[in-house]
């Protein structure tokens, strides 16, 4: 997976018309329906972030054009609205990625506390650069992560949904080696 993988794009979405009922699993539709109960019926767009989370989670951690079109169809939104959100927020992936999502914060506080040393260590250890996945499909090293609001614990990283703070190369080795 270190080779460049095509990324979802909005132009390709224009030509896709597959209805949501066919593309989205019953489980995804149920979860989105539950989400929609938290918002007024005319405010379906409010459920967009959550809907994309649900669909991405079920698709091994990334979104395709077809899935984004299906979400647009399900929430009665324009395709471009869904693409804009999915391509803006760093929590959505628009290309296939490895099982474990590792995001090192490189924003100012973490940078001052040594995040570059952590990035270099992980890149050397895994033999990949930021933005790439290991060939065994185990670890995806996110390209960039802005402040994750744990500045006092820098340098820090997020692995899947868990925060790890005050990182050292030794601590990083322990965390990464525990990922299956």
List contacts with ligand FES (CB under 6 A). Answer: 105, 107-110, 147-151, 154, 156
Q: How far is the CB of 89 from ligand FES (least distance, A)?
A: 17
Q: DSSP of 43-92, one letter per residue?
A: -GGGGHHHHHHHHHHHTTT---HHHHHHHHHHTT--HHHHHHHHHHSTT-
User: Exposure of 69 by Cβ count < 10 A (0-12 exposed, 13-18 middle, 19+ buried)?
Assistant: buried
| Residue 156, CB-side half-sphere exposure with 13 Å CA sphere | 18
Closest CB to ligand FES among 63 and 110? 110
Closest CB to ligand FES among 4 and 161? 161
Q: How far is the CB of 144 from ligand FES (least distance, A)?
A: 12
Q: How far is the CB of 158 from ligand FES (least distance, A)?
A: 9
Q: How far is the CB of 120 from ligand FES (least distance, A)?
A: 17
Q: 104 near 154, Cβ under 8 Å?
A: no
Q: Who's near 116: CB < 8 A, 6+ residues apart?
A: 106
Closest CB to ligand FES among 12 and 151? 151
Closest CB to ligand FES among 79 and 121? 121
């Amino acid at each position: 997976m270190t080779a460049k993988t095509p990324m979802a794009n909005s132009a390709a979405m224009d030509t896709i018309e597959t209805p949501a009922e066919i593309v989205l699993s019953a489980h995804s539709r149920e979860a989105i329906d539950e989400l929609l109960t938290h918002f007024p019926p005319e405010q379906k767009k409010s459920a967009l972030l959550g809907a994309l989370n649900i669909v991405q989670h079920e698709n091994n951690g990334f979104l395709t054009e077809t899935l984004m079109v299906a979400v647009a169809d399900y929430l009665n939104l324009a395709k471009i609205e869904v693409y804009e959100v999915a391509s803006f927020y760093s929590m959505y992936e628009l290309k296939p990625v490895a099982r474990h999502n590792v995001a090192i914060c490189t924003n100012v506080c973490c940078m001052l506390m040594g995040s570059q040393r952590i990035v270099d260590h992980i890149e050397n250890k895994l033999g990949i650069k930021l933005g790439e996945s290991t060939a065994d499909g185990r670890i995806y090293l996110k390209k960039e992560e802005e402040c994750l609001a744990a500045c006092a614990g820098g340098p820090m990283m997020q692995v899947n949904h868990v925060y790890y703070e005050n990182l050292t190369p030794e601590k990083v080795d322990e965390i990464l080696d525990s990922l299956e």
